[in-house]
Structure 1
Amino acid sequence: MTATPAAPAESALAAARARTGRTGLRVATVVVAVLLAAIAALLGQHALVDWGRMAGTSWLRSGAEFVAGDDPSALIGAGAAVLLGLVIMAAAWPRRQRVHRLRSAPALHLHPVDVARLASTTARRVDGVLSATTTVSGRRVDIRITATGTDRVAEDVLSAVRAALALLDGSFRVRPHVRTPGGRGGAS
């Protein structure tokens, strides 16, 4: 006899998507890898010329003579390299993510995407709401609601979402925007 798992309750929060890596860090990693490959090629060519396995002059020696000369373009190139290095460092620097702490357990926190999921799920539980999507920006929570009608839906969603967000420290400015499936807007 096998038991089938119960279907999840409709009022349960949907599982969060896995966090993605930082794009700036990936770009910095690729740039550093390309720079290391270029340095390896430069040193390899210098070694082959020094050992007599390759004809011509060493690129490393030519570059050193160029930099030691009186040509101002070397200074411009060095400045551009420093600027590029600063841009790469800024792209790889970790961003400070805003978090919203729980009142009852300050060590626990929610990211803005989690607050948006909580608000959307709470709004969908209100009678008359067909769908809800939420955007959280700082302390502002904007909820776009599609409802069967516009009568009192905004007020009901507002009170339900405020009650759910009361678990978090601080206050939020909640703004529900209600429309019907036909596109007719109601109270905001």
Structure 2
Amino acid sequence: MKPLILGLTGSIGMGKSTVAAMFAGAGVPVFDADAEVHRLQAPGGAALPAIEAAFPGSTGPDGLDRAALGAAVFGDDAALARLEAILHPMVAAARNDFMASFADKPLVVLDIPLLFEKQGWSQVDRIAVVSAPAEVQRARVLARPGMTPDKFAAILARQLPDAEKRARADFVIPTGGTLDETRAAVARVIACVAGPPGE
């Protein structure tokens, strides 16, 4: 038996990180694609030499200079594609290692921010979308340091609309209420998908 792979996704500010932590807290192994990218770009990270070669001046002793790299790729699809060509194979290798480590588990979660946008849906068995009302999402995102309405709009423009994600999901986990309500929704998803072996 191999694990059932649940893809976890959601637009910016929907509470996906909180929900991923709830799955982990319930004993479900979670692979966080964003966290892996951060590791690759941290001081000594495996991706730094290739990023520096492609975007000179974007790395240093402290790892990735996010402001410099952001300035190099923001709004430039070709530059973003070059960056993704460096990072995606490294993230895929780490994900394969993760899957091998938890091959005996009934359920694993792949936390993939752009699951629909980057064809990640093809790598999972079921999809859970984390969702909150638009006004809650907006308030959360604009409270982040350095975030502006223009930046928020640009990010949203690259993401599939929330309504479409919900329509394509096997499960929708609401995060607009209390943490206990969200935790209960996570527990229901686990109960649905992590049944006894053979189910």
Q: TM-score, normalised by structure 2?
A: 0.22
More helix by share: 2
Structure having the higher Rg: 1
Q: TM-score, normalised by structure 1?
A: 0.23
Higher relative contact order (CA 8 A, sep 6+): 2
